[in-house]
Amino acid sequence: MPTLSLSSPEDPQSLTLLGRLRETVPAFLQPVEFRLVQSRQELEAALRLVYDEYLKRGYVTPNAQRLKLSLHHALPATTTFIALRRRTQLLATLTVIEDSPLKLPMDEIYHEELDGLRRQGRHLVEATLLALNTECFGRGVFTMFHAKKLLLTLRLFKVMFDYLRSCTKADDLVACFNPKHAILYDFLELKPLGGRKFYAGANGHPALAARLNIAETKTHATWHTAYAFFYGKTPSPQPFAKRLYLSAEDLRELFVLASRLLPSASPAEVSHLASCYPSYDFDTILANR
């Protein structure tokens, strides 16, 4: 189970017995912190949670690092959000990736659909790598009906929306997901962007694509309970100031030594990444061991 060792648990017993606690939903959510990752350790814990959960469903093939890592994580604008209970237990994670010369992960199968939006001058961000820790919740009840799972997911989405509205110029949120999760994205008013396809990025599982015009979500708040919650408090960029910025050593360890993602990248991709980190020596980062 992805458990961070950032600090001593305040109440170790409550963590091990988390699942069987007969606590109310507000009591469950109260000690949960929703924020973006602030350290490489947190990033790796989030990517390990995604890997573990996706492996259970066959969405990834096993890898030695046990991380669901892609070259997009090397981009400084890629932002990973986490739900952390009592400062140690990772309950859920979600990542947003901003459009860039590296394109978006879902370009792999929905490139034409995304290019259609790009041609309209829309700035895209992809919400991806959503994972809930089934060690805490089990898999028996559909997320939409499980109060803790649903509210945890929506709280995570609220942080993401706050971030998008206060720290980015994103016009559209796009997402690519297994059709069995479509009801959640329907509930959040994402509109169909692309039909059913098979996604190598999800180990050949089927996928659907959807988009959300972010500017339109403000009107959703007048009639949609989830958006009323998302727009309940004006976001401030302040909570997002303390975010992870990968060092040259992090880039080398994660994307060269552990995964070989950077050496496998195209010259254009490497060049773009180098432009994102003008003070880093990419020859040293990419050097053989």
Cα distance between residue 179 and residue 165, in whole Å: 27
Of the two residues 58 and 138, which places its CB atom closer to other proteins in the complex?
138
* CB 79 within 8 Å of CB 244: no
**Among positions 20, 119, 169, 289, the unique one binding other proteins when judged by CB under 8 A:** 20
What is the footprint of other proteins within residues 211-240 (CB under 8 A)? 224-226, 228-229
Q: How many residues bind other proteins (CB under 8 A)?
A: 35
Residue 81's nearest CA partner among 134, 45, 105, 124 is 45
Of the two residues 225 and 271, which places its CB atom closer to other proteins in the complex?
225
- Give the long-range contacts of residues 104-108, CB within 8 A, separation 24 or more: 104/72, 104/174, 105/70, 105/72, 105/176, 105/201, 106/174, 106/175, 106/176, 106/199, 106/201, 106/207, 106/209, 108/199, 108/200, 108/201
From 3-11, 60-68, 130-138, 209-217, span contacting other proteins (CB under 8 A): 130-138
Give the nearest distance from C-beta 184 to other proteins in angstroms: 8
Of the two residues 90 and 136, which places its CB atom closer to other proteins in the complex?
136
Give the nearest distance from C-beta 173 to other proteins in angstroms: 19
Alpha helices (runs of H) in 125-266, residue ranges in sequence order: 134-137, 147-167, 182-187, 217-220, 225-230, 248-252, 261-264
Of the two residues 196 and 260, which places its CB atom closer to other proteins in the complex?
196
The helix/strand/coil state of 174 is: strand
Looking at this protein, which amino acid is placed at residue 123? H
* CB 222 within 8 Å of CB 230: no
**Among positions 8, 16, 247, 275, the unique one binding other proteins when judged by CB under 8 A:** 16
Of the two residues 199 and 277, which places its CB atom closer to other proteins in the complex?
199
From 52-60, 64-72, 94-102, 133-141, span contacting other proteins (CB under 8 A): 133-141
**Among positions 146, 197, 205, 272, the unique one binding other proteins when judged by CB under 8 A:** 146
The tally of CA atoms less than 13 A away on the side-chain side of residue 89 is: 25
Phi-psi domain of 58 (left: phi exceeds 0; alpha: psi -120 through 50; beta: other): left
What is the footprint of other proteins within residues 186-205 (CB under 8 A)? 186-187
Cα distance between residue 126 and residue 260, in whole Å: 24
By the rule CB under 8 A, 72 interacts with other proteins? no
Give the nearest distance from C-beta 158 to other proteins in angstroms: 9
**Among positions 154, 274, 276, 286, the unique one binding other proteins when judged by CB under 8 A:** 154
Interface with other proteins (CB under 8 A): 16-20, 25-26, 29, 135-138, 140-142, 144-148, 150-151, 154-155, 179-180, 182-183, 186-187, 224-226, 228-229
